[in-house]
Structure 1
Amino acid sequence: ESPHFGERMARHWMDVVRYTDTYGYEWDNPAKGSWEYRDYLIRAFNGDVGFDQLIREQIAGDLLPRPRVDRSSGLNESLIGPMFYHMGEHRHGDNIRINGVREEMVDNKIDAFSKAFLSMTIACARCHNHKLDAVSQRDYYAMAGMFMTPRWTARSIEAPGRNRALIDKLKRLRDQIAGQLRKMWKPQGEKFATEIELALVKPSEEADSENPRLALWRKALGDSTGKKAKAADLASDFASATGLDGLKWLVSRLVSAPDDAAAENAWKQASEQWRQAHTQRNRKNRADFKVLADVGRDGWPKNWVIEGDGMRSGRVVDGTPLIALDGKAVVQTLLRRGYHTHSLSPKLPGAVRMPRQQDLPGKYVSLELAGGEWSGSIRMADNAFQTEAVKFFDWQKSRWESFADIAPKNGIQRLSYDLVTSDLNPNFPPRTGVARVGARKLPDKDMGFRKRSWFSVTGVVTHVQPGQPADEMTRFSPLFDGLPPKTARAAFRRIGAWLAMAVDDWAGGRPDGDDVQVLNWLLSHGLLQNVSAEGTALAALVENYRAAERAVPFPRTVNSMDERAVVPVDYPLNIRGSIHDRGPNVPRRFLQVFGSQKADGPRDGAGSGRLELASFLVDPRHALAARVYVNRLWQWVFGSGLVRTSNDFGRLGDRPSHPELLDYLAREFIAEGWSSKRMIRRLVASRTFRQGGRPTEKAMAADPNNRLLHHAATRRLEAEAIRDSLLAVSGRLDRTLFGRSINPHRHAEDSAKRLFSGPVDGNGRRSIYLKVSIMAPSKFLVSFNFPDPKLPTGRRDVTNVPAQALVLLNDPFVVSLADRWAGQLVSEDHSTPEARIEQMFVRALGRSPRKDESGRWVELARGLSDGGTSRLMDDRTVWKNVAHTLLNTKEFIHFR
């Protein structure tokens, strides 16, 4: 029942699925969520989750109708499972830039799947029919379609409702803050007309001293001195101004008008310019752009997929306040109708996944966007998520961004765009230097988590010709409605009444997008109170909101699969495996050797068929997957499987030493609920496991390689067990479970590839928590046959080379732990050197020394000391050398 059982079992399985924390190739980009998958395995083995369930989750966890949720963490365990596909090495780019990228990606997944769950080498059929096993080339490409159909992308693994209480609390507090602001702003709006008139008709220092707001009005309206604003500060005409800057153009003419007639004429001129621009832009927008959906009112268009709590809670109505999370301001801005991932907290992740471009009307799709903190858009060509076709958002005010169709080439079957916060970008952080906005660059050491990333979408249109919808300036419709004012004074009061109407609409709960633009203009110029007095109800609400927002956890995301609203893919057969010679598409299905037609493929042509594939593998009527896994359990317990080639049950693989036993154990394994713990308990309770390590001459003559297990062979510890034993013996071992991976210690760092050095002792964490970098894994572990993380490893090599002795002798990690152990020894009360040696043997080797051994080790200690017994017992250097010597014995790294 040790919680560390799960760590050991997980590490075994991580070999099989080529676990990595990076994607290797040239830049070794981080593999998003890899540590979540490792912790998922630990929890699963500790909880004795049936291996049939783990098969379902790793192959099709995103499709399970009833996903498994971990109650303690609130995580959707099933959704973590498909991270299995995203292990190993991945090339950068996509088929648009480099032909053959997708072919390598899918080959990686077919190879890992077939070896892990079937012990078959299906990837050998990429270029031709398998030469030895019953796997055709069509089988290979039929499976390629199954694995290419879902989107390979990042998913939020929080179970539904994990953040619901906090989200509901934030919404409730936001509504209460809005209620307080309505009470404050409505009476302020009623004074706008009078204030503007006083500010612009006869400005004076005396009036400004009595009402400081008058100076704010003059600054906002472009007349800070009571004179006509400089021409350089104004638009060429009213209609060419952006936002509410047209008011400056209008006010400058009203202020400088010599008489009432001139003032009336200035108003008419502005009104006519606005009317013409509004009519022309409205007509052009209607002719050139088709609204796909009013996302704030109607939600997303058909087959557009959203992800994350930021999107699920981010749909708001016009005028929803975005609460400021620090500083004196109450609100940062008022939001327009639409989706805003940060409407409650920028910690909440969000993504929008568009359909493939051939399923969208028009040649272009334009979205009205804003975003920041490394949110962006990413172009995905056939699931090549390590693409660098990404644009990062860094603008606060919404603007139109167009996404154009790209001519597919090199066999691309699906090209689409995703909008993502950084946590749901499957390739964030990308290679160093790619993540930049203007002069701002993501630091090389920034690993991309704990970001307050956000984006907003307030409009979606499609069009045939390039361009973007024009601003129709509808916000000015109420201002220019009716007869023009006859005097400048009347014009100023008209402007004030128009601005006040927006405040009144918002206070009455009926604002529209135009009102929001007016209100944000007023806020930006300090014309609406946006600071809460200390001790007020509003101040308390704001502080409560900020405290609740701080309690929102940063998102938990992994690279997984998403099959929602996808169009299934049938993959083309590559003639002789050539990417330049593509044949007909092959329908999705499993291997024909298993009688695959429809039952284990997609039903009615819908979906990838992964869920049916998983169901086929765990069907108790055929026990192949069970036999494969039981053989692995046998290997992990006894050191060698009943079939020694645990990744290859085919013709090139080894024959089972006990075929009937393997079949029997597989049947028992299924009958006992696919329980790993029960099977291991059965194996270690057997007479075979409990036998001694001394063979008889007769047995050695009959079976010199101990293939039939007539004795328990001496075995060397795995690399991780050696390192963990060093930590345990020295007292440095940190037994904490779970958490992000720790960089191994490196003598030289490479910032460009994010190969940074960690602590010499890895903070005392078990080796399973050391970062597995394809480009530069831990040298200590590699010295003791840590597997190549690029490829699935069924059975590790076991070598005996000089480098291993040199590592134990010279590695700073080993030397530092010997010194630490020595420090503990000299601080303890041992009556004699013999007593200390006794304790060291028990701790390091699990046994007491024999008399002759004890004498030799005491003699060694005395030989290293230059004083008597009392000084010897306190000499840390002596005991460091003794400890280091004991850690270098063969017995320390072997067991029997």
Structure 2
Amino acid sequence: MKYLMIFLFSGFFCAAASASAAEDFEFFETRIRPVLVKHCYKCHSSAAAQIKGELVLDFRGGTRKGGESGPAVVPGKPDESLLLAAMKFNSFEMPPSGKLPARIIADFEKWIRSGAADPRDKPPSAETAEATWKAQLAVRRHWWSLQAPKDVTPPKIDSEAWSKEPVDRFIFDALQEADLQPAKAANAETLLRRLSFVLTGLPPTPEKVVQFKKAYAKEPESAYAALVDKLLSSPHFGERIARHWMDVVRYTDTYGYEWDNPAKGSWEYRDYLIRAFNDDISLDQLIREQIAGDLLPEPRLNAKAGVNESIIGPMFYHMGEHRHGSSLNFNGIHQEMVNNKIDAFSKAFLAMTVACARCHDHKLDAVSQADYYALAGVIMSPRWTSRVIDLPGKYDLQIEKLKELRAAIQHKLADRWKADSGLATSLKKWAAANEESLKKSKPEEIGHLLHQIAQASDADVSKVWTELATKWKTTRAARQKSNTGKFTTVASFEKPGFPERWVWEGDGIKHGYAPHSSALVSLDGDSLVAELLPRGYHTHLLSSKLPGAVRLPPLKTIDGTFISLKMRGAEWSGYLKIPQNALQTEPPRFFNPKLKTPEWISVGDSDHRNGVTRIWTDFMTSAMNPHFPPRTGAAVAAGERLPAKDNGFNKRSYFSMTEVVAHDKTGVPADTLDEFADLYGAGEGGPDNIDAAWQRIGAWFESSINRHANGQGNESDAQLINWLLEQKLLANDANAVADVGELIKQYRQVESEIDFARTANSMDERDFPTVDYALNIRGDVYNEGPKIERRFLEVFDGKQNVHESKGSGRLELAEYLSSPNNPQTARVFVNRVWYWIFGRGIVATPSDFGKLGAQPSHPELLDWLARTFVSEGWSTKKLIRRLVLSKSFRQSALTTQKALDVDPNNTLLHHYAMRRLEAEAIRDNMLAVSGRFDPKLYGHPINPPRYSQDASKRLFSGPVDSHGRRSIYLQMSIMDPPKFLVCFNLPDLK
């Protein structure tokens, strides 16, 4: 234990300073260096073609020395720093392209005032970079945290009377080395309160205090162990540990930046964590789920909760701030997403600051710039989109019943229409009664035909008919010729299925294929059917509650510059163009709900803009839209706006897709008026008289009815029958068709048993081209270097394990992270748990095990805990039980002067450190003791009380006590987090 004594007298005094230095360097790497690279290096770096003003800003010495006018940066003195003055346009005006945003200038002022921390000790040299890195890596790979945990035997201690438990033996041995003794055990009431807060975040009730004190006085060990087991089995245990992990992954309910849009399904991720920790799901499983839950061959299905837990896990990637804005800047926006995720991922699972290698090789740790971009390819290859989290087949019984009932309704109703006679007479009477409205019909509409015939006489009806037929034939032939020369059919849906590499999701699509004209059952009112749907896909064929999405591949993989789709939709269904996974840069476009027939939607290939490598379009119901709702006011359909308070929960939404074509020039296929083919296409001459004309028209409609009744109805048949239904010329209510009315009631009852889909933003890489990221020279997104193959970090043999699978490599990454052979994962997690239990980690910097992080106070204990944790099945509850049962945890907070002199920071744990409750626990404690606490678990986030509301950003105020719910259920808005929690120690949500 010689190392420990050296540590005592030289190491722990630096721990706080080391953590502070790490934060300062991280601030420089994330907020200062990228700005210098983007706006200053072109003229003021060692590689500049001409260094202007003799000012070099690409290393520390250059900024301190400055140029012709003096020092650019004077640490601690922003008023004397010429760089800041130039940014403010007080003297020079830099950069020359225009004044930087105020927040960037504020960052530089903060950086200089705090000492201008800058790890760039030497000017960069491109020629020697690779050789230098290899030499550095050879040394850095031996860093303590990169070595496999050692197989350690707990030390033998002189006094086993204190404790025989392995954890205590490590602690006691270190105390003996320092000639210290552990504190006495805390009393029963203290232990009860400590355990209650540590394991549940809630105080014990007065009744529990009395009960435990009595039990502890009789059998202290058994009473204490029983209390531990009871609290571990409390549903509030999962809330407590989940809240800790949410801090690690930067949990938010919004995406931040200016509009602070909702992060769809973030609360489902929160509830997923609560369930997981309550059920003691092994950490290796949780790692696999959060990194690649959508790819697991055997996902974890939770029948009780009714969800696919595994697919919720990748919501992890959606935590934290995601910028939005002009699509002209989406490369930069998307690179910020990459940086945020790499930073969160590497700190959460590896306790490494990989994001510091975005612009250059890490200055201190075993992470190269190539490592950063190799990992970027892994993380950003899949689509970041919304996924259904309901159990697969959740409503299969209802869906099959709806199929049977719909078929029966369609059959009976079609037979009734088929049996009806006198349609010609009905049409003639209807035309006479609606003469004024028919005058307004357009030449291509059915109404125009009826008006022309109604106005004709026996003498001229043949001529009128012939003129209509001739004009139709001429128009149709020209349009057919034009369409044939300009458009190539991609999908006509004669058979179910989508083109190659198109991806679909949701029961609305799975069960929404119509091979022929199909009845859409009316879900309310007196009508039996709402309309007939043509051949194609219709998410609402059975129920508009069923979700659906069709995801196109990047357009560069499709023949043609444009794709046009014949579509229709309503209730906030629409489509979203997504460049480089920056899903908030383009506003969703919504289908016009007032349209009665499908329209052509064109999607252009804009990949060439700004060097974007991948851009694609998703068509989806509102539940499947990862960017729904968008910022207030952006959701507009046919002039109607989505109310500001509407977050898109529980909305019926649907769309239809009936045809797809590709083309090289703008424009869409012209309507070839196929519905008139049976009427005019036979080549017959004009009718001899008016009655004959009406008979032909009646027969025309009846032929469509017959084809529909025989299960062969086409799009034109659906169009004609829908016209008849709209004009109420076909029987379509329960009174007229009594035997169908009962079937309709049954249909509506079964449909009511289907709940709205539960969705969350997650990942999807099915049939999706992966991407190897180009190394951004100096972190500049517009200055690309070589592409880096997707892999893990080189220090973990990443170069020998290049991801050769067709996928992103996330599954391989997840398997490596959850492997017992990985030196980092278990060690990092047990250290976090130690921090949650004792208030300080064995490594005092739980998110940084690197050179700027703290050294472990008890390295052998950390290794023993990590190996034991893995051998016991990665069980969080077993680990925590072991720790809280230890005598080390049960010490009182009282200490001695000698202990304070030798170990003032209590690094050796000679007493249990007094701890301030976290912000959430303070609020929860107030609710609990006031009697207003609501113990209910799970659910949508609750608006906290706010001084004022801002409907434009969906910031609404809730009741002061937020209905008594725990703080974990309060809405965590990045731009306006709960004020009460901010007053204490709520983490930075960014």
TM-score of the alignment, normalized to the shorter chain, above 0.5? yes
C-alpha displacement of 1:97: 4.0
Question: How do 1:538-687 residues align onto structure 2 when only pairs under 5 Å count?
Answer: 538-599=740-801, 601-604=802-805, 606-687=806-887
Name the structure 2 match of 1:518: 720
Name the structure 2 match of 1:346: 544
Residue 176 (structure 1) aligned with residue 402 (structure 2): no
Name the structure 1 match of 2:424: 193
Residue 128 (structure 1) aligned with residue 360 (structure 2): yes
Question: What code does the residue aligned with 2:656 have?
Answer: S
Q: 2:578–2:586: 8 Å Cα contact kept in structure 1?
A: no
Residue 162 (structure 1) aligned with residue 394 (structure 2): yes
Q: 1:44 aligns with which of 266, 276, 279?
A: 276
Q: 1:504 aligns with which of 706, 709, 724?
A: 706
Name the structure 2 match of 1:755: 955
Name the structure 2 match of 1:313: 511
Name the structure 1 match of 2:131: none
* Percent of residue pairs bearing the same amino acid type: 53
Per-residue CA deviation, residues 436-462 of structure 1 (Å, 9 max, x unaligned), is 124311111111211111111001001
Name the structure 1 match of 2:673: 473
Q: Closer, same or farther in 2 for the Cα pair 1:616/1:152, shift >3 Å?
A: same
Q: 2:322–2:337: 8 Å Cα contact kept in structure 1?
A: yes
Per-residue CA deviation, residues 566-607 of structure 1 (Å, 9 max, x unaligned), is 1111111111111231112111111101111243x4224x21
Name the structure 2 match of 1:795: none
Q: Closer, same or farther in 2 for the Cα pair 1:598/1:186, shift >3 Å?
A: farther
Give distance in 1, aligned partners of 2:737 and 2:939: 41
TM-score normalised by structure 1 residue count: 0.82
Per-residue CA deviation, residues 94-141 of structure 1 (Å, 9 max, x unaligned), is 653455111111000000000000000000001111000011111111
Per-residue CA deviation, residues 447-485 of structure 1 (Å, 9 max, x unaligned), is 121111111100100111222112222222222215222
CA RMSD of aligned residues (A): 1.7
Name the structure 2 match of 1:139: 371
Which shows bigger deviation, 84-93 or 466-475? 466-475
Give distance in 2, aligned partners of 1:27 and 1:516: 43
Give distance in 1, aligned partners of 2:936 and 2:946: 23
Q: 1:65 aligns with which of 284, 297, 300?
A: 297
Q: 1:69–1:75: 8 Å Cα contact kept in structure 2?
A: yes
Q: 2:587–2:630: 8 Å Cα contact kept in structure 1?
A: no
Q: 1:241 aligns with which of 433, 440, 444?
A: 444
Question: What code does the residue aligned with 1:300 have?
Answer: F
Q: 1:326 aligns with which of 521, 524, 531?
A: 524
Which shows bigger deviation, 407-416 or 718-727? 407-416
Indicate the SS of the match to 1:49.
coil
Q: Closer, same or farther in 2 for the Cα pair 1:95/1:130, shift >3 Å?
A: farther
Name the structure 1 match of 2:556: 358
Q: Closer, same or farther in 2 for the Cα pair 1:95/1:271, shift >3 Å?
A: closer
C-alpha displacement of 1:74: 2.1
Give distance in 1, aligned partners of 2:750 and 2:736: 19
Name the structure 1 match of 2:348: 116
Name the structure 2 match of 1:16: 248
C-alpha displacement of 1:390: 2.4
Q: Closer, same or farther in 2 for the Cα pair 1:667/1:706, shift >3 Å?
A: same
Give distance in 1, aligned partners of 2:260 and 2:643: 16
Give distance in 1, aligned partners of 2:331 and 2:380: 16
C-alpha displacement of 1:407: 4.7
Question: What code does the residue aligned with 2:662 have?
Answer: T
Question: What code does the residue aligned with 1:412 have?
Answer: V
Name the structure 1 match of 2:130: none
Q: 1:234–1:248: 8 Å Cα contact kept in structure 2?
A: no
Per-residue CA deviation, residues 644-700 of structure 1 (Å, 9 max, x unaligned), is 100000000000011111111111111111000011111111111122222133322
Give distance in 1, aligned partners of 2:808 and 2:885: 43
Q: Closer, same or farther in 2 for the Cα pair 1:378/1:59, shift >3 Å?
A: same
Name the structure 2 match of 1:7: 239
Give distance in 2, aligned partners of 1:407 and 1:535: 55
Question: What code does the residue aligned with 1:547 have?
Answer: Q
Residue 285 (structure 1) aligned with residue 483 (structure 2): yes
Question: What code does the residue aligned with 1:529 have?
Answer: A
Give distance in 1, aligned partners of 2:703 and 2:741: 27
Name the structure 1 match of 2:567: 369
Question: What code does the residue aligned with 1:37 have?
Answer: Y
Q: 1:74 aligns with which of 291, 299, 306?
A: 306
Name the structure 2 match of 1:268: 466
Give distance in 2, aligned partners of 1:479 and 1:691: 94
Q: Closer, same or farther in 2 for the Cα pair 1:786/1:348, shift >3 Å?
A: same
Name the structure 2 match of 1:218: 432
Question: What code does the residue aligned with 1:141 have?
Answer: Y
C-alpha displacement of 1:37: 0.2
Q: 1:494 aligns with which of 679, 688, 696?
A: 696
Residue 409 (structure 1) aligned with residue 606 (structure 2): no
C-alpha displacement of 1:85: 0.5
C-alpha displacement of 1:233: 2.2
Question: How do 1:831-850 residues align onto structure 2 when only pairs under 5 Å count?
Answer: none
Give distance in 1, aligned partners of 2:847 and 2:464: 84
Equivalent pairs counted in the alignment come to 754
C-alpha displacement of 1:39: 0.2
Give distance in 2, aligned partners of 1:359 and 1:305: 14
C-alpha displacement of 1:268: 1.7
Which shows bigger deviation, 381-390 or 32-41? 381-390
Give distance in 1, aligned partners of 2:624 and 2:494: 22
Per-residue CA deviation, residues 507-552 of structure 1 (Å, 9 max, x unaligned), is 2222122211111111011010111129933222212222222221
Give distance in 2, aligned partners of 1:16 and 1:597: 28
Per-residue CA deviation, residues 814-836 of structure 1 (Å, 9 max, x unaligned), is xxxxxxxxxxxxxxxxxxxxxxx
Q: Closer, same or farther in 2 for the Cα pair 1:486/1:536, shift >3 Å?
A: closer
Indicate the SS of the match to 1:789.
coil
Q: 2:734 aligns with which of 512, 532, 538?
A: 532
Question: What code does the residue aligned with 2:798 have?
Answer: S
Which shows bigger deviation, 293-302 or 411-420? 293-302
Give distance in 1, aligned partners of 2:566 and 2:322: 33
Give distance in 2, aligned partners of 1:627 and 1:218: 85
Indicate the SS of the match to 2:661.
strand
Question: What code does the residue aligned with 2:605 have?
Answer: D
Name the structure 2 match of 1:33: 265
Q: 2:327–2:586: 8 Å Cα contact kept in structure 1?
A: no
Indicate the SS of the match to 2:340.
helix
Give distance in 2, aligned partners of 1:39 and 1:615: 24
Give distance in 2, aligned partners of 1:429 and 1:87: 17
Q: 1:292–1:462: 8 Å Cα contact kept in structure 2?
A: yes
C-alpha displacement of 1:411: 3.0
Q: 2:607–2:613: 8 Å Cα contact kept in structure 1?
A: no
Which shows bigger deviation, 386-395 or 421-430? 386-395
C-alpha displacement of 1:248: 2.6
Per-residue CA deviation, residues 376-398 of structure 1 (Å, 9 max, x unaligned), is 11110000111234211123420
Give distance in 1, aligned partners of 2:523 and 2:967: 39
Q: 1:296–1:339: 8 Å Cα contact kept in structure 2?
A: no
Question: What code does the residue aligned with 1:179 have?
Answer: H
